[in-house]
Chain A
Amino acid sequence: MGARVPHVRVENLRVLVPSKGGDIAIIDNISFAIGRGEVLALIGESGSGKSTTALAVMGWCRHGSRIGGGQIFVGETEISALSEAELRPIRGRRIAYIAQSAAAAFNPSRTIIDQVVEPALIHGLMSRQQAENKAVSLFRALSLPMAESIGNRYPHQVSGGQLQRLMAAMALITEPELVILDEPTTALDVTTQVEVLKCFKAALAQAGASAIYVSHDLAVVAQMADRIAVLKQGTLREEGPAAQVLENPRDAYTSSLLSAVRPAPVAAKAPCDAAPLLAIRGLVAGYGALRDGVPSVPVLRDISLELQRGGTLGIIGESGSGKSTLARVIAGLLPAAQGQVLLDGTPLPPAVAGRSRAQLRQIQMVFQNADTALNPAHSVAGILGRPLEFYHGLKGDAATCRIAELMELIRLPRDLIHRPVRELSGGQKQRVNLARALAAQPQVLLCDEVTSALDTVVGAAIMRLIDDLRRELGIATVFISHDIHAVSAFCEDVLVLYGGAPVEMASREVFNGASHHPYTRLLLSSLPAMDPAWLGRVQPPVPTCAAAQCADLCRFVQRCPVAVPGLCDRVAPPVHAIPGQRWLCHFAPTSVTERDQA
C-alpha cells in the first residue's frame, strides 16, 4: 500500500481567519496523506482545528475563514484550486460528509427519505425511484428497523442512534470515494455508540471509501482508524499508523492525552462503621402533579443510599437515567415526592425554602457547566464573596483574606480576583465554580458532571484537584458522571442508575470484579477499549423480552439479554444484597453471568 500514490494528499495547509490586526492562521502548515480505502483519524481537543481541517478537504470553510496556503488533492483533483461552482459537483458526490449531530443536520421540516435521496438527485445519478430503492437497501445494510417505511418519518420521530445511521445512508447513497465523519458518535450514549460504530465500520469497508474520522475520543478512534493524526491548536503534533500512535506515542502531548483517558485509581479510605453523614431512604421524585404520592412524570424510583463522612460515591448512568435529578433532590431544588434525605441523622426538609441556612451550607453543589454556573456579570471576588457573606457573615478585609485563601486552594493566581469571570478560561472557570462551593465549608459536595464540558486533559486536572481538596478538607463527595473510568478511579462506592431505578450499588472492589447487573454489564462492555480489535469482539445484546414498559417492572427488561419472558415482564424484581453489593434483578449476578455464557 505504501508504494502507491495516496488517495488524499494535504500539503502545508493553512486556514486563515480575518481579524482586525491581520489574518490569523487557525490551521498552520498541516500535511498528511491517506491511501485509497484507508481511514485517517484527526484527533485533538476543542479548538485544535480538527473539524476545520476535515472540512477544508471538501473546500468548505466556516465563519468567514479561507484556505490561505497549501494544496489539497483528492485523487487527481486539486480541491484547493477550485471555485465554489466547481466544488459543487464534487460535494455530496465524490466527497460526502457525516455531521456530529444528526438531529441538527437533518432538516426538521422534510421527511428523511427526501433528504437521504437528495444527493443522488442533485447530482443526477439516478431517478427518484432508483434512489429510494437504493436508500432502502442502505437502511437494511445499516441494520435500521423497518427499512421500508422509516424514510417516511420526520427526523424528530426517530431516535438519535437511528438518525446517525440514516445520515450515513445519506452520505453513502452516491458511493463517494471519500467520507468525512465529524465526531459522528459524540452525541450518543455509550451503549448506542457501539452499534453505530459497528455499522459505520462495516459500511465503509463495503463501500471501499477512504475516510477522515474526526474525534476527541482515542478509544473510539482506535476502533476506526488505520492512521492517526494528532492536532493541537491548529498544528500537527504527530501522525502515524494507529497502533504506533496509541502504543508508542512520539509526542509528549499525545502521551498526556492517552494518560488523561484512564486516570489511575486513588487510594480508598479505610472503611468506618460510624453512622452515615448523608443517607437517602426510599426516595421517589419527578415532575408534574402528584397522584398517590407518585409524580405524573416520575424520574427517580425508590432510591436508598448512604455516604460516610469523608467518603466518595459515584453515580453513573446514561442521559435520562435521573442522575442529575438525584443531585437536585439532595440539594433541595426538586422536593422529593416520597422518602427522606437525612444529614447526620436529621431529616432535611424537602425544599430549599424549608431548610435553614446552616443546613443549606452543609450541602454544596458544583454544576456541570461553569460557563452558565458563574454569573457573567460578576467578578471572581463577587462570586466567591457572596457565600462567605451569606453563610459566614464575612465582609470587608476578612472576606478579602478568605477569598485569597480560596484562590490558593484552587491554585489560581491572586490577580484574577477582580477579573470578570467571562475573561477566564474554561478550566479557570471550573476552579472558581469549585471554590464557590468550598467557600461555604460544606460537609457534602455534589459534583454534577464537572468535567464533561472540559477538554480531557483539563478535566483530568480538575478531578485530581477535587480529590486532593476533599481529602484535605474531609468533605464527603458525590460524583455524578457518565464517565465510568473516572468514577471507578475516584470513588469508593458506585451507584448505577437506569431509567431512574438503582439497578446496582457496589463498592469499588466489587464493581471492578466480574459479577454485575445485566445493565451494568452492557454499560461496561460498551466502553471502547484502546485495543483496535475490541469492536470486532463486542456483541451488542439481543433483547429476549418484548415487554411493554410498566412502572413496577424492571426498567431494563426491554433491552435485557437475559430476561425471562413470563417472569421479568410480569413480576417486579427483588433487591439482592451481599456484602459490598446490592442489585435489582430476578437473578443473582453470578447466575446471570453463567446464564449469559451458556
Chain B
Amino acid sequence: MSGGAGPAQGGLAGLAPMLARRLASSAVTLVLVTLVIFALANLLPGDAAQEMLGQSATPEQVAALRHQMGLDRPAALRYVGWIAGLVHGDPGQSLVAGMPVREIIAERLPHSLMLAGLTTLVAVPLALIIGMGAAIHRGGWVDRALNIGTLSLVAIPEFLVATLGVLVFSVWLRWLPSIALVSAEATWGETLRSCALPILSLTVVVVAQMARMTRAAIVDQMDRPYVEMARLKGAGTARVVLRHILPNAIGPVVNAMALSLSYLLGGAIIVETIFNFPGLASLMVNAVTSRDMPLLQACAMIFCGAYLMLMLVADVVAIVANPRLRAQ
C-alpha cells in the first residue's frame, strides 16, 4: 500500500484495462440481448407469411411466400443472417411497408433523438435543482413536500400527463398545438412550439424519478463521517456540498440520470402516440400492431442499444470520478 503507490497511479493509464473490461461486458450483454429479442420475436409458429396472405390463402401460396421470405430456413441460420445484416447496417425488409427497415428508421430516428435531446436539456438541470434542494433541506417541509410531489408524479400514467397537457394548453388556453408536426421545412421556432407539449409531458414523466434518485445519492453521502469532519473544520453548507459531497456523489447521480433517461425510451411510446409524433417509439407500436417482425426487432435493438450505451457512459463516469476505482 505504502510502497510505490505514487500519485502517478491516479492517472488515466490505469483506467484502460478497467474500461476495456466494462466495454467487453456491455458487448456480451448486447449479443445476449439480440438472442433474446430474436428468440421472442420468433417464438410462435404462426408467421408473417400466413398473416400477409390471410385465411383464404392456399397452403402452396403460403409455402411459396415463406420460401421467398426465407422463413423456411432453420432458426439458427435466420439468426446468423439477421446478425450479419445488423452488423452491416441492414436489418432486413419491412413486411408491411415493403421497403428496407433501414430507410424507415433513418426517417424516424432523428426525430426521436431530437425529442430525447431536448427533453434531457430541460429535465436534467431541473432534476438536479430539485434533488439537491430536497437533500440540503433534508427532513424539512421543503423536502417532505418534494417527496410527496415526486412520489406521486412517478406513479402517474404518462397518458394522464399528456392528455391533461392537451386539455390545458391546447383546448383551454389554445397556446400550443395538440399534434406534433415535424417537417424539414419548419423553422426551429415552429418545431419547438409543436414539440413543446411532448417535451413537457416527457419531462414531467422523467424528472420526478431523476430528482428522487439524485436526492438519495446525495443524502447517502451526507451521513458519512467525512461530512461531519468537514463541518467541524468550519466549512459552510455550500463548501460541504460542492467540495465534499458532490465529488463523491457524481457516480451515483450520473447513474440516476442514465437510468431515468433510459426510462424516456419507454415513456416516449405513449407520448409519441398521443401527439402523433413521427418518432421511433410510435413506429414500434405500429410494428407490433401489424406484427412486422423485422421492423419490430430493429426498433427493439435500437432501444436496447441506447440503454446499454447510457449505462456504459454512467459507469465510465463513475470509474473516472472515483480515485479508488481509478487506481485499482
Contact = CB atoms under 8 A, between A and B. Distances in A.
In the complex they form, do A and B come into direct contact, defined as C-beta atoms under 8 angstroms apart? yes
A36 interface: no
A122 B327 contact: no
B321 interface: yes
Contact of A119 (B2, B234, B243): B234
Given A154-B324, A162-B2, A105 B234 contact: no
Interface of A: 58, 60, 62, 88-93, 96-97, 99, 101, 104-111, 118-119, 122-123, 145, 149, 152-154, 156-159, 162, 170
A99 B225 contact: yes
Interface stretch (B3-11, B35-43, B183-191): B3-11
Nearest to B324: A156
A122 B233 contact: yes
Nearest to A109: B247
A153 B7 contact: yes
B234 A149 contact: no
Contacts of B244: 107, 110
B192 interface: no
B226 A108 contact: yes
Contacts of A99: 225, 228-229
B147 interface: no
Nearest to B223: A63
A109 B197 CA distance: 41
Contact of A154 (B235, B236, B323): B323
B71 to A, nearest CB: 48
Nearest to A59: B232
A91 B235 CA distance: 9
Nearest to A64: B139
A93 B231 CA distance: 12
7 contacts: A92-B235, A104-B226, A119-B233, A119-B234, A154-B323, A154-B324, A159-B1
B233 A91 contact: yes
Given A92-B233, A92-B234, A109 B5 contact: no
B7 A149 contact: yes
A122 B240 CA distance: 11
Nearest to B322: A109
Nearest to B245: A107
Instruction: Give the residue among A105, A107, A152, A162 with the most B Cβ atoms within 10 A.
Output: A107
Given A107-B226, A107-B248, A60 B321 contact: no
Contact of B248 (A92, A108, A118): A108
Contact of B236 (A88, A105, A106): A88
A91 B231 contact: yes
Interface centre among B9, B234, B327 (most CB of A within 10 A): B234
Contacts of B234: 88-93, 119, 122-123
Q: Is chain A's interface secondary structure helix, strand, loop, or mixed overall?
A: loop
B137 interface: no
Contact of A104 (B1, B2, B225, B232): B225
A104 B224 CA distance: 7
Contacts, number: 93
B174 interface: no
B308 interface: no
Nearest to B139: A64
A156 B234 CA distance: 24
Nearest to B236: A88
Interface in B259-305: none
Contact of B1 (A97, A118, A119, A158): A158
A118 B239 CA distance: 11
B33 interface: no
A109 B323 contact: yes
Given A101-B225, A105-B225, A152-B7, 11 more contacts: A60-B228, A62-B228, A88-B236, A90-B234, A96-B233, A97-B233, A105-B228, A108-B322, A153-B7, A156-B327, A158-B1
B232 to A, nearest CB: 4
B154 interface: no
B156 to A, nearest CB: 34
Contacts of A122: 233-235, 239
Interface residues of B, number: 29
A60 B248 contact: no
Contacts of A89: 234
Contact of A157 (B225, B236, B248, B327): B327
B230 interface: yes
A108 B226 CA distance: 8
B321 A97 contact: no
Contact of B233 (A62, A108, A118, A152): A118
The 4 A-B residue pairs with the shortest CB-CB distance, nearest first, are A92-B233, A92-B234, A109-B247, A104-B225
A153 B231 CA distance: 22
Nearest to B243: A110
A97 B239 CA distance: 18
B322 to A, nearest CB: 7
A411 to B, nearest CB: 38
A110 B323 CA distance: 8
A108 B229 contact: no
B271 to A, nearest CB: 38
A159 B235 contact: no
B327 A154 contact: yes
A157 B327 CA distance: 9
B325 to A, nearest CB: 10
Contact of A159 (B2, B230, B322, B327): B2
B2 A158 contact: yes
A149 B6 contact: yes
Contacts of B231: 60, 91
Interface in B1-43: 1-2, 5-7, 9-10
Contacts of B321: 109
B6 A60 contact: no
A109 B5 CA distance: 16
B243 to A, nearest CB: 8
Contacts of A107: 226, 229-230, 244, 247-248
A138 to B, nearest CB: 15
Contacts of A105: 225-226, 228-229
Contact of B324 (A108, A118, A162): A108
A159 B2 CA distance: 7
Contacts of A93: 234
Contacts of A157: 1-2, 5, 9, 327
Task: Specify which of A60, A88, A89 lies most central, judged by the most chain B CB atoms within 10 Å of its CB.
Answer: A88
A118 B244 CA distance: 11
A119 B231 CA distance: 10
B15 to A, nearest CB: 15
B239 A110 contact: no
B250 to A, nearest CB: 8
A156 B323 CA distance: 9
A111 B323 CA distance: 9
A339 to B, nearest CB: 30
Contacts of B327: 154, 156-157
A89 B232 CA distance: 10
B226 to A, nearest CB: 4
A33 B7 CA distance: 45
A118 B235 contact: yes
A123 B225 CA distance: 21
A92 B5 CA distance: 30
Residue of A60, A101, A118, A119 with most chain B CB atoms under a 10 A cut-off: A118
